[in-house]
Amino acid sequence: MSSEVIEILTPRYGIAWYPWAVQYFFMIAISYSALLLTVPGLLMGKRQYQALARVALLVTVSCTLVGPVALLADLHQPLRFWHFYANLTPWSWMWLGSLLLPLYLILVVAYAWLAWRPAMQLQAQGDGWIARLSGWISLGAWQAPRWMLVMCGLGALLMSFGIMLYTGAEVAIVKARPLWNTYWLPVMFVLTGIVAAAGLVMVINRLMTGNDEEVNAQSLKVVFSTMVLAALVAALWVAEGLTGFSASVEQAFASLQGNPEWRAVAIYGLLVGVVLTLTVVLMLRQHRYLRHAWIAGLLAVHIGWTFRWMVLMEVQTVAKNTAGYYQYVLEMGSSGLLGILGTFGLWLAALLIIDILVPWKRDFQAGTH
């Protein structure tokens, strides 16, 4: 029977997760990805990766501190956060996250503290308030054995795998949103996180250190290999939808069918991905472009953030139950633009405070042997 249906009465359903969620997912993904980038130079003590590890450590600490603030702000009842710890709910992915996140944060801070401590102790010998503060922060002149740094690093790494798993699973298990309900989503969160983290490392490397070309080359290689993997994952996801191998991906495609805006999004995503990959290839082959790696870095950060914006915000505009799409307009207030800017402002503040207090550019004492 051929008929045309018009929906004439339906309520307007609001957005349940605000841009705070995007900020949290973005910050925490950069945090765990940058932590991975510190592993060769700091945890394994490989000399040629130490410059990379220094920048990556700054990135991971600043993002680890700010991410949870954005997460707290996404709760409509932020002061009730202690309910997470008063009700043991081990079957909920989000509850598991509330358990992992503080442990992860403590271990990352401990790892960075141990890495920066020798330089802080040196700084404490000088005069002035920074020296005094450095003395307090380093908690004395005793030498921390390297195994402490290794244990904290391994612990943080272990917890970071937990964070990767829970942030991905938390979203991917939601069957009600077919665009989320795929095993590839957690993988893609991690891959775009690594791309963004390596990108941010290149930007910080340009702005705060001497634009070390070795750091740029290493970060570009990370971006390249991760982009290849991301392309593979995206292709597999599309293939699952086209072949009907995965019912939920097929449903996801159906939910966007004929929507010109989503088609534009897909084309834009493909285009930006190709441009970034080609730029990275060019920079790696022509060494004179290496000092401009920060441009690729900005693009990489853009991909990491925009992917989360599309997944978390725009997918919420796809109606579950009714016809069509909801219109989402970014509010100016704290649940909108102010929240986004505020998170970045807080991150910048954290970055600058660390930069003022911590001589993070000096050699790690650990790993020099």
Partner 1 sequence: MDTIRRALLGQIAKLTAGAALVPLSSVASAGMNDQPPRREGDPEKRYGMLIDLRACIGCQACTVSCHIENEAPLGSFRTIVSQYEVAHEDTGDVATFMLPRLCNHCDNPPCVPVCPVQATFQREDGIVVVNNEACVGCAYCVQACPYDARFINEQTQTADKCTFCAHRLDVGLLPACVESCVGGARIIGDLRDPNSQISRMIDEHRQELMVLKPEMGTAPHVFYLGMDERFVSRPDARPAIWDVRDQKGEEVGYEFGSH
**Footprint on this chain of partner 1 (rule: CB under 8 A):** 1-14, 16-17, 74-78, 80-81, 83-84, 86-87, 89-95, 97-98, 169-170, 173-177, 247, 255, 316, 319-327, 329, 331
Residue among 86 and 356 whose Cβ is closer to partner 1: 86
Give the torsion through C-alpha atoms of 165, 255, 276, 337, to 10 deg: -80
Residue among 71 and 152 whose Cβ is closer to partner 1: 71
- Nearest distance in Å: CB 188, partner 1: 18
- Nearest distance in Å: CB 13, partner 1: 5
Residue among 17 and 289 whose Cβ is closer to partner 1: 17
With a CB cutoff of 8 Å and minimum separation 6, the contacts of 235 are none
Residue among 243 and 322 whose Cβ is closer to partner 1: 322
Query: Which of 191, 208, 192 has the alpha carbon at shortest distance from 294?
Result: 208
Q: How far apart are CA 7 and CA 283, in angstroms?
A: 53
- Residue count of the chain: 369
Residue located via tokens 């990379």: 52
- Nearest distance in Å: CB 21, partner 1: 9
CB 49 within 8 A of CB 198: no
- Nearest distance in Å: CB 95, partner 1: 4
Residue among 12 and 285 whose Cβ is closer to partner 1: 12
- Nearest distance in Å: CB 58, partner 1: 31
With a CB cutoff of 8 Å and minimum separation 6, the contacts of 169 are 93, 186
Please report how the helices 129-138 and 337-357 are oriented relative to each other, as an axis angle in degrees rounded to 10. 90
